[in-house]
Amino acid sequence: MSDFRRGALLALFSGICSGFIPIFALYAYQGHASVLTFIFLRSLIGAGVYFLYLLRQSLPVNPSWRQIGYLFAVGGLLEPLQSTLYLTSVKYIQASLVQLIFYTYPALVALLSFLIYKEKPSGKTAAAIAVSFTGLIMVLGASPGRVNLAGIILAFGAALVCSTVILLSYRLVRQIHPLLVGAFFSLFTSLTVLPVGLLAGSIRFGIELKAWLAIIGCALVATNLARIAFLTGMKLVGSTPASVLCMIEPLVTVIFSALLFSQFLTWFQLLGGLVILLGGAVAVVSKKERV
pLDDT tens readout for residues 192-239 = 999 999 998 889 898 999 999 999 999 999 888 888 888 888 888 887
**DSSP H helical segments within the chain, as ranges?**
3-18, 21-30, 35-56, 65-72, 79-89, 95-102, 105-117, 123-140, 149-173, 178-200, 209-217, 226-237, 239-245, 249-261, 267-290
- Residue 179: the pLDDT is 82
Rounded alpha-carbon distances, angstroms, from residue 15 to 137, 154, 209, 229, 248: 17, 23, 27, 9, 6
Question: What is the residue range of 38's domain?
Answer: 3-290
**Is the pLDDT confidence value at 110 over 90?**
no
pLDDT in tens, 121-177: 677 777 877 887 787 777 666 555 556 778 888 888 988 998 888 888 877 888 888
How many domains is the chain partitioned into structurally?
Answer: 1
Least confident of 12-16, 44-48, 103-107, 229-233: 103-107
CA 100 – CA 98 distance, rounded (Å):
5
**In this predicted model, which residue has the larger pLDDT, 213 or 2?**
213
Question: pLDDT-based confidence at 291, cuts 50/70/90?
Answer: very low
Mean pLDDT over the full length of the chain: 81
Contacts of residue 87, defined as CB under 8 A and 6 or more positions apart, other chains included, come to: 35
Q: Which of 199, 98, 203 is nearest to 148 (CA)?
A: 98
Q: Which of 132, 142, 139 is nearest to 98 (CA)?
A: 142
Rounded alpha-carbon distances, angstroms, from residue 95 to 26, 99, 167, 199: 14, 6, 26, 28
Other CB atoms within 10 A of residue 227 CB? 23
**Is the pLDDT confidence value at 272 over 80?**
no
**Is the pLDDT confidence value at 244 over 80?**
no
- Residue 45: the pLDDT is 94
Torsion of Cα atoms, 130 then 112 then 242 then 191, to 10°? -130
pLDDT in tens, 60-101: 778 888 889 989 999 999 998 897 788 777 777 766 667 777
